[in-house]
């Protein structure tokens, strides 16, 4: 019995000494959330968003030495996960002071979008005094009014100036939504009159109105005085040695011709890499 046990232990020890793929290639979890047309995590177009394809077809094939796992999460879970995971990363995140405390950021790349405030067109006369000569709304002034009800997708960032305005608001000022697709829920609340405005990126409006069956002529997306014209995205990873190494490699990809071409809508290395994709937790 002792001899058999020794043999078994010897075999197990020998097997344990053989490197596995997981040991040879540390795992990196790429977190993303529903944000059409950048990320599409559900439905017939799942995985076909602009950043979905940029991630899977351009970035990941050029980051060797890692076992890449793509995990859809709600926006609020994204922030919490990136704060605690030692191997968490995301493509397209905006940089702000809070995120810099727990994430390492790559060099920026342009994501041509700027959030606006979506309101019901019938309510526009109420906000005319807050518009400048270019038709841009003062979000700070709008939020200061007692007759405005605002809904926010918890965990999302909209740029330094807009984020600063939101951070300055009193606790309880917002209707906060933390679902898998908060923008869709907030649009429904706007339709039903539960809120008066919600921040959206321009490209979100079409897919959301179609899904809810809304008439776009009844809505108005107001540009913001606080918002710049161009949003800068980054590869952001956990502030760990692993995260720093992934970001270092990603910096080289971001400056490549393939990455720039994909951002401009050109062909990508489609099908070259198929990371494991798990359902949203």
Say if residue 187 is exposed, middle or buried (CB neighbours under 10 Å; 0-12, 13-18, 19+): buried
Mean pLDDT for the stretch of residues 1-11: 38
Q: Each residue of 120-162: pLDDT tens digit?
A: 999 999 988 999 887 889 999 999 999 999 999 888 878 778 8
> Quick one: CA dihedral 166, 98, 201, 161, positive or negative?
positive
**Could you tell me if 181 and 258 lie in one domain?**
no
Cα angle 81-87-90, degrees, rounded to a multiple of 5: 65
In a domain, 201, yes or no: yes
Average pLDDT, the chain: 82
In a domain, 8, yes or no: no
- Model pLDDT, residue 202: 77
Q: pLDDT: is 8 or 74 the higher one?
A: 74
End residue of a domain, out of 222, 248, 269: 222
End residue of a domain, out of 187, 204, 222: 222
* Token pair for 185: 């829920």
**With contact defined as beta carbons under 8 Å apart, do 116 and 127 qualify?**
no
**Could you tell me if 204 and 264 lie in one domain?**
no
Q: Each residue of 243-261: pLDDT tens digit?
A: 999 999 999 999 998 888 7
In a domain, 14, yes or no: no
Beta bridge pairs of residue 93: 234
Choose the weakest-confidence range: 11-20, 39-48, 80-89.
11-20
The confidence band for 38, taking pLDDT boundaries of 50, 70 and 90, is confident
**Could you tell me if 215 and 125 lie in one domain?**
yes
- Model pLDDT, residue 7: 35
In a domain, 17, yes or no: no
Cα angle 267-273-277, degrees, rounded to a multiple of 5: 115
Q: pLDDT: is 187 or 17 the higher one?
A: 187
Q: pLDDT: is 156 or 198 the higher one?
A: 198
In a domain, 250, yes or no: yes
**Could you tell me if 258 and 178 lie in one domain?**
no
- Model pLDDT, residue 230: 61
Contacts from 119-127 at CB under 8 Å and sequence distance 24+? Answer: 119/190, 119/196, 119/197, 119/219, 119/220, 119/222, 120/190, 120/193, 120/196, 120/218, 120/219, 120/220, 121/217, 121/218, 121/219, 121/220, 122/218, 123/196, 124/220, 127/222
* Token pair for 270: 């489609």
In a domain, 166, yes or no: yes
**With contact defined as beta carbons under 8 Å apart, do 265 and 56 qualify?**
no
User: Domain range for residue 237?
Assistant: 27-111+231-277
**Could you tell me if 120 and 217 lie in one domain?**
yes
**With contact defined as beta carbons under 8 Å apart, do 158 and 96 qualify?**
no
How far apart are alpha carbons 254 and 192 in whole angstroms?
42
The fraction of the chain above a pLDDT of 70, given in percent, is 83
End residue of a domain, out of 222, 239, 255: 222
* Token pair for 79: 């922030």
Say yes or no to pLDDT of 19 above 50: no
In a domain, 6, yes or no: no
Strand order in the sheet with 219-222: 174-177, 150-153, 197-200, 116-120, 219-222
Say yes or no to pLDDT of 236 above 80: yes
**Could you tell me if 104 and 165 lie in one domain?**
no
- Model pLDDT, residue 204: 79
Q: Are strands 197-200 and 116-120 parallel, antiparallel or unpaired?
A: antiparallel
**Could you tell me if 266 and 246 lie in one domain?**
yes
**With contact defined as beta carbons under 8 Å apart, do 162 and 224 qualify?**
yes
How far apart are alpha carbons 191 and 214 in whole angstroms?
8
- We report the CATH number of the domain holding residue 79 as 3.40.190.10
- Model pLDDT, residue 90: 97
**Could you tell me if 106 and 126 lie in one domain?**
no
Which residue, among 28, 29, 27, 32, has the nearest Cα to 78 in the 3D structure?
32
**Could you tell me if 167 and 250 lie in one domain?**
no
**Could you tell me if 100 and 149 lie in one domain?**
no
**Could you tell me if 58 and 37 lie in one domain?**
yes
**Could you tell me if 212 and 249 lie in one domain?**
no
Total domains present in the chain: 2
Contacts of 249 (CB under 8 A, 6+ apart): 62, 63
- Model pLDDT, residue 61: 97
- Model pLDDT, residue 228: 61
In a domain, 100, yes or no: yes
3-state secondary structure of 6: helix
């Amino acid at each position: 019995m002792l001899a058999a046990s020794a043999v078994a232990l010897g075999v197990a020890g020998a097997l344990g000494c053989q490197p596995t793929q997981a040991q040879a290639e540390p795992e990196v979890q790429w977190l993303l959330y529903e944000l059409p047309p950048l990320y599409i995590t559900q439905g017939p177009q799942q995985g076909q968003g602009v950043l979905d394809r940029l991630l899977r077809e351009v970035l990941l094939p050029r980051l060797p030495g890692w076992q890449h796992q793509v995990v859809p999460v709600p926006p609020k879970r994204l922030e919490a996960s990136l704060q605690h995971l030692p191997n968490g990363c995301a493509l397209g995140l905006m940089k702000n002071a809070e995120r810099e405390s727990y994430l390492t950021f790559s060099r920026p790349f342009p994501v041509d979008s700027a959030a606006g405030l979506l309101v019901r067109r019938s309510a526009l006369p109420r906000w005319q005094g807050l518009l400048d000569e270019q038709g841009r709304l003062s979000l700070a002034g709008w939020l200061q009014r007692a007759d405005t009800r605002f809904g926010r997708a918890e965990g999302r960032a909209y740029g330094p100036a807009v984020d600063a305005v939101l951070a300055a608001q009193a606790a309880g000022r917002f209707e906060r939504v933390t679902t898998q697709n908060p923008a869709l829920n907030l649009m429904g609340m706007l339709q039903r009159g539960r809120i008066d405005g919600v921040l959206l990126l321009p490209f979100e409006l079409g897919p959301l109105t179609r899904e809810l069956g809304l008439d776009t002529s009844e809505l108005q997306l107001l540009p913001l005085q606080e918002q710049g014209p161009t949003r800068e995205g980054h590869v952001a990873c956990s502030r760990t040695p692993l995260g720093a190494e992934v970001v270092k490699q990603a910096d080289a990809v971001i400056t490549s011709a393939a990455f720039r071409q994909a951002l401009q809508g050109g062909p990508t290395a489609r099908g070259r890499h198929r990371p494991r994709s798990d359902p949203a937790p």
